Amino acid sequence: MSGKGPTKAKVLVVHRIGFVRAGVLSLIAKSMRFVVCGETDEAPLARELFLRHKPHLVVVGLRLCGADGIQLIKEFRSLNPAAAILALSEHADAFSAQRVFRAGARAYLGIEDAPELLRAFDKILTGHPHVGASVLPLILSNFAAGSKNSRSPDINNLSDRELEIFSLSAGA
């Protein structure tokens, strides 16, 4: 029998905020089931690390240096549909959750949901979706409101690229 334990799932961490990345790295370091294979705040480097290390899991922020996280999720899904992607948002909302899942992520957490991160990893590796505790009430309220949602009914009809342009033009 070899001296090695079970193989750990490789995790790539892509987030523009350094202290968020550091927190995620710290949580993963304390785990016996996961190991970080790379981390960055830049989309081009994230693509390179994704192709080089072939991670089992990817943590992606929605806004990155020089890119949109939703687009990166789509790219990762096309490059390796088996990779489980978790979106980690600094401003969690139901609309972003919808976009993230539509892009191919399996989980959506707000930063305040960080204590759920490892549990979310376990769930999405088995093919189950996960939504953070802070986000779930927002999604349920949005779902319950249905077509009565007067906040921005037309925004749901915009493509991801149109939303990205709208966001940039609004200075968001």
Q: For 113, what's the count of Cα atoms within 13 Å in the CB-facing half-sphere?
A: 26
What is the mean predicted confidence (pLDDT) over 79-105?
Answer: 93
Query: What is the reported pTM?
Result: 0.81
Say yes or no to pLDDT of 150 above 50.
no
Predicted local confidence at residue 82, as pLDDT: 95
Q: Which of 74-78, 94-98, 129-133 has the lowest mean pLDDT?
A: 94-98
Q: Which of 94, 28, 13 is nearest to 59 (CA)?
A: 13
Written as one string, the DSSP assignment of 38-102 is EEESBHHHHHHHHHHH--SEEEE-SEEBTEEHHHHHHHHHHH-TTSEEEEEESS--HHHHHHHHH
Q: 125 vs 3, 34, 64, CA distance in Å?
A: 25, 11, 24
